[in-house]
Amino acid sequence: MATWNSRGLRGSTLEDLINRTNEKYLESNLALIQKIPTPITPIKIDKEHRHITLAYFDQKSTVDYIGVVQGIPVCFDAKECAQDTFALQNIHRHQVAFMDRFEKQKGIAFFLIYYSHREQFYYLPYAHLRYFWDRAQEGGRKSFRLDELNPEYFLPKKNGVLVPYLDLLQKDLEDRPES
């Protein structure tokens, strides 16, 4: 079982960039996005310094972020990738199931992937993830390559916003079939 202190600082820089972006969006009245903490049960607590030194995860987390953008419910997860191939084992079945249910309730679900070796962010719409996921479930590749991604969903560099995903959220909305 994974423990709270066994994961190190994985993703903390990415999380910080997204949190700062969400603060900027909040200040501009563009979005209200909350980081969802992973529920933990403490095992050891350093009473002198009043912090948890060992804990285990209570339950499977669903997504990293959830909120609303101009009246549209959104949820997303952030992932980091150090190569041009993203292994689908980094996404869990319960996350896909949650996002599927979220979309069926007229919400927008997506992944933000940071390709650290390229210093590029990618907005992966849920429908695109679902294509790769279903392909893997049917015996196909258990990953997707950078060259399989739609180049229009790479996040642009933008002054004042560290991870400018709202522009790509708009594109995601525009690219969806009318329902």
Annotated binding site for Mg(2+): 62, 64, 77, 95
Q: Which residue from 70, 78, 60, 61 is spatially nearest to 19, judged by alpha carbons?
A: 78
Phi, then psi, of 66 in degrees rounded to 5: -150, 145
Residue list, annotated binding site: 62, 64, 77, 95
The answer to whether residues 78 and 112 touch, using CB atoms and an 8 Å cutoff, is: yes
The answer to whether residues 63 and 8 touch, using CB atoms and an 8 Å cutoff, is: no
Q: Which helix (H) or strand (E) holds 116?
A: none
The answer to whether residues 75 and 102 touch, using CB atoms and an 8 Å cutoff, is: yes
